[in-house]
C-alpha cells in the first residue's frame, strides 16, 4: 500500500501481524446502520456459539484475559464448524505460518437445539483422532527451534511529550508512539502494511489512546530489518511446530462467546469520538479508531461492520437496535487474542 502524500485524519482499516494468518471465510450479510429516534428496551445477553479448531499457544497473540463464566441464555446462537490447513515457510527472520480456514455456519434458536448439540459438537470432537506425541522428543537437544521476532513498543510512561494543535497517535508502525507533525508519521509508517494512526486533540488525549492500546496488547511495532528504526527491544518467541501440526485436531469443541447487552457497555473516556462495532472479533462502542480497527480488519470477509458516531447517544442507539434485532455478531479468529470463549463451570466444582 502506498503512503498518502497528504495528511489523513484516520489510518486505513487493514492490519498486519508478525505471523501472518490468512483465512478464506464466507461473506456475511451486508452491514446496515440504524438510528431510531428512541432507544428500545434491552433484553437478556446473547451468546454466539462456534464449533472451531483452535490453535494452541504457538500462535497465540499477546496475553488474553481469562475467559468469562456465563450460563446459557435463550436467544439466537451462531454455530460455526471450522476446518483448518496450516503450512509453515522458513524465512530469514523466523517462520511464516499460513492457515487456510473453511467455515460452515448455521444459526438457530437456543430452544430448537436440544439434543442436537451432542451430534454436531461433542461427538465430533470425541471421534476426532488425536496424534500421540512424545513430548521429550519434540525438540531434541541441540536442535534449532524456529522463532518469530516480536518488537516491544515503548511503555506509555516513557512517551516523550510533544506539543502542538494537532497530535498523532501511531499504534501500528515501525516505531509506534505520539508525534506532532505529519512528516514524522510518514517516516515511522513507511513500509508498514496497513499502519494505524489517528489525529487527537492534544498529547494527553493521544497518550490515553496509546495507553489503552498498550494495555490491550494490540500495539504493533514492525521495523524494517536493518532500517533506521530497527533499534527497539525485542524478544524471540519460539514456534512449536508440533503444535501447529495438531492445530486442526486439538481443542475441538462448541465455543460460545458473550455478547454484552446495551446496558453493560461502558462509555469511553473520550467525549468527541465514538466508534460502533456491531460485527467483528469483539463488539461494542470504542473511543478511538485503533480499537475499532483491530476488532474488524481481520474479518472483513465475514462482514465485519463498524461506523463512526458523533455522540455516545447515537452509538448507543445504534448498538441497542442492532442487539434487539439479533444483528450483533461475534466471530473471533480461532486462536487470536479475541478468541475468548465462555467457560461453563462443572456444578460438582462449585
Q: Other CB atoms closer than 10 Å to residue 269's CB: what's the count?
A: 11
Q: With contact defined as beta carbons under 8 Å apart, do 19 and 231 qualify? A: no
Residue pair 260/45 in contact (Cβ under 8 Å)? The answer is: yes
- Angle between the 289-296 and 203-216 helix axes, to the nearest 10 degrees? 30
Sign of CA dihedral 109, 110, 112, 117: positive
Spatial distance between the Cα atoms of 47 and 68, rounded to a whole number of angstroms: 12
Q: Output the pLDDT for position 148.
A: 79
Residues sharing a CB contact under 8 Å with residue 233, sequence separation 6 or more, in sequence order: 151, 152
Please give the model's pTM, rounded to 2 decimal places. Answer: 0.59
Radius of gyration of the chain (CA): 21
pLDDT tens digits for range 128-143: 333 333 433 344 444 5
Residue 314 and residue 338 in contact, taking contact as beta carbons nearer than 8 Å: no
Mean pLDDT in order along the chain per 10 residues (350 residues) = 42 39 42 45 49 39 49 52 63 59 55 38 34 40 69 94 92 96 96 94 94 95 91 81 49 76 91 93 96 95 95 96 96 90 60
Q: Look at the block and give the residue holding cell 508498514.
A: 192
* CA–CA separation, 332 and 83 (whole Å): 15
Q: Give pLDDT tens digits for 201-235.
A: 999 999 999 999 999 999 999 999 889 998 888 88
What is the CATH architecture of 148-226?
A: 3-Layer(aba) Sandwich (3.40)
Nearest to 309 by CA among 346, 263, 278: 278
Instruction: Count the Cβ atoms, other than its own, within 10 Å of residue 223.
Output: 20
CA dihedral 64, 159, 284, 307 (to 10 degrees): -130
Contact between residue 51 and residue 254 where contact means Cβ atoms under 8 Å apart: yes
Phi, psi of 50, deg, nearest 5: -125, 140
Question: Which pLDDT value is given to residue 321?
Answer: 97
C-alpha angle with apex 121: 118 to 125, nearest 5 degrees? 110
User: Using CA atoms, how far apart are residues 301 and 309, in angstroms rounded to an integer?
Assistant: 23
What residue spans define the domains of the chain? 46-129+238-349, 148-226
pLDDT value of position 256: 86
State the DSSP code for 277.
E
The 3-state secondary structure of 71-104 reads CCCCCEEEEEEEEEEEEEEEECCEEEEEEEEEEE
**What is the structure's pLDDT at 314?**
96
Q: Which residue has the cell 499504534?
A: 171
Cα 338 to chain centroid distance, Å, stands at: 5
Alpha carbon distance 306, 277 (integer Å): 4
pLDDT at position 75: 46
Q: Is 121 helix (H, G, I), strand (E, B) or coil?
A: helix
Contact 306, 275 (CB under 8 A): yes
Amino acid at each position: 500500500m502506498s503512503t498518502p502524500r497528504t495528511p489523513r485524519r484516520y489510518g486505513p482499516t487493514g492490519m498486519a501481524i508478525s505471523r501472518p494468518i490468512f483465512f478464506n471465510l464466507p461473506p456475511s450479510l451486508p452491514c446496515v446502520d440504524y438510528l431510531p429516534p428512541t432507544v428500545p428496551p434491552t433484553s437478556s445477553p446473547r451468546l454466539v456459539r462456534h464449533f472451531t479448531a483452535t490453535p494452541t499457544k504457538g500462535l497465540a497473540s499477546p496475553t488474553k484475559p481469562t475467559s468469562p463464566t456465563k450460563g446459557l441464555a435463550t436467544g439466537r446462537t451462531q454455530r460455526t464448524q471450522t476446518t483448518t490447513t496450516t503450512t509453515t515457510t522458513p524465512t530469514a527472520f523466523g517462520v511464516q505460518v499460513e492457515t487456510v480456514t473453511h467455515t460452515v455456519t448455521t444459526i438457530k434458536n437456543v430452544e430448537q437445539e436440544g439434543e442436537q448439540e451432542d451430534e454436531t459438537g461433542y461427538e465430533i470432537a470425541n471421534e476426532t483422532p488425536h496424534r500421540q506425541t512424545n513430548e521429550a522428543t519434540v525438540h531434541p537437544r541441540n536442535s534449532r527451534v524456529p522463532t518469530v521476532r516480536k518488537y516491544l513498543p515503548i511503555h506509555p510512561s516513557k512517551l516523550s511529550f510533544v506539543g502542538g494543535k494537532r497530535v498523532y497517535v501511531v499504534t501500528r508502525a515501525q516505531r509506534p508512539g505520539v508525534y506532532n507533525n505529519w512528516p514524522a508519521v510518514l517516516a515511522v509508517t513507511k513500509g508498514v502494511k496497513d499502519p494505524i494512526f489517528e489525529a487527537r486533540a492534544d498529547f494527553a488525549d493521544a497518550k490515553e489512546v496509546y495507553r489503552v492500546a498498550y494495555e490491550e496488547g494490540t500495539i504493533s511495532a514492525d521495523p524494517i530489518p536493518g532500517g533506521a528504526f530497527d533499534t527497539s527491544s525485542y524478544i524471540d518467541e519460539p514456534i512449536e511446530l508440533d503444535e501447529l501440526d495438531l492445530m486442526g485436531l486439538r481443542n475441538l469443541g462448541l465455543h460460545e462467546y458473550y455478547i454484552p447487552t446495551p446496558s453493560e457497555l461502558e462509555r469511553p473516556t473520550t467525549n468527541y469520538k465514538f466508534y460502533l462495532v456491531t460485527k467483528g472479533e469483539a463488539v461494542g462502542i470504542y473511543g478511538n479508531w485503533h480499537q475499532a480497527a483491530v476488532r474488524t480488519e481481520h474479518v472483513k470477509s465475514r462482514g465485519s461492520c463498524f461506523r463512526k458516531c458523533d455522540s455516545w447517544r447515537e452509538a448507543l442507539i445504534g448498538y441497542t437496535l442492532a442487539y434487539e434485532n439479533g444483528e450483533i455478531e461475534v466471530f473471533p479468529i480461532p486462536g487470536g487474542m479475541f478468541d475468548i470463549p465462555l467457560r461453563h463451570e462443572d456444578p460438582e466444582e462449585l
